[in-house]
Amino acid sequence: LYRLPMIDGFNDTDPDATLLHKFSHLQWDIRAYIVDGLPSIKQNYFYVSIQDLLDAYPLVTAHKKILKTLNII
């Protein structure tokens, strides 16, 4: 499964979206930010278009929920 980048350093600004994702045994309080460009990322991330993301890459359910909340998909 693929996921959106999770990068520290944005906690001092208001999130563009907040949501709750519940599992059977825990819950995530998610704060999502739309950023213009990303800092240097040392992990193995790569960019794909939204359409390619939907068509070719299985996305973690919580991250798909973020994109829906932000009206990106």
Query: What pLDDT shows up at residue 39?
Result: 67
Residue 1: inside a domain = no
Dihedral (Cα; 64, 66, 67, 68), 10-degree rounding: 90
Residue 26: inside a domain = yes
Number of structural domains (the chain) is: 1
Range of the domain at 57: 17-69
Strands 17-22 and 27-32: antiparallel
Residue 57: inside a domain = yes
Residue 12: inside a domain = no
pLDDT in tens, 16-59: 999 998 988 899 899 998 887 766 766 778 888 999 999 999 99
Residue 53: inside a domain = yes
Residue 38: inside a domain = yes
Mean of the pLDDT values across residues 12-16? Answer: 86
